[in-house]
Amino acid sequence: AQSVSQHNHHVILSEAASLELGCNYSYGGTVNLFWYVQYPGQHLQLLLKYFSGDPLVKGIKGFEAEFIKSKFSFNLRKPSVQWSDTAEYFCAVNEGGLTGGGNKLTFGTGTQLKVEL
């Protein structure tokens, strides 16, 4: 079975600091990778996703993530965080390919990010 690990459970940064959140998955086949974000009081929403091609994918609000197949990783980055980035971030994976085996997402445990002014 697939599993997703997010090693940083809580991260506190000052505004303008750089961010990198780790995500590792265990699945040997083709995967689709996602980062979802939940801002305080809001729904889970998609930040970015990767299927194939350029392993560096850009998402909303200046976030990007890099897929490194050899490391089974999909780390999320942002060069300069803002107070409004305070949220919980979830990495998720499902089996890939053109249609895949349905859309059964396996989520990591999440990383709570707090950005201080």
Nearer to other proteins, 1 or 117 (CB): 1
Q: Which two tokens stand for residue 27?
A: 């699945």
As a whole number of angstroms, the distance between CA 46 and CA 37 comes to 6
Ranges of beta strands (E only) in 31-103 are 31-38, 44-50, 56-58, 64-68, 73-78, 87-95
State yes or no: residue 110 binds other proteins (CB under 8 A).
yes
Question: Within 19-78, which residues bind other proteins (CB under 8 A)?
Answer: 32, 36, 43-46, 49, 51
Instruction: Tell me the closest approach of the beta carbon of residue 68 to other proteins, in angstroms.
Output: 20
Determine if 104 is a binding residue for other proteins (CB under 8 A).
yes
Under rule CB under 8 A, residue 79 binds other proteins: no
Distance CA 47, CA 39 (A): 11
Member of 25, 67, 74, 90 binding other proteins (CB under 8 A): 90
Chain Cα centroid distance, residue 100: 20
| CB closer to other proteins, 10 vs 14 | 10
Q: Are 93 and 6 in contact (CB under 8 A)?
A: no
Binding interface with other proteins (CB under 8 A): 4, 32, 36, 43-46, 49, 51, 90, 92, 94-97, 99-110
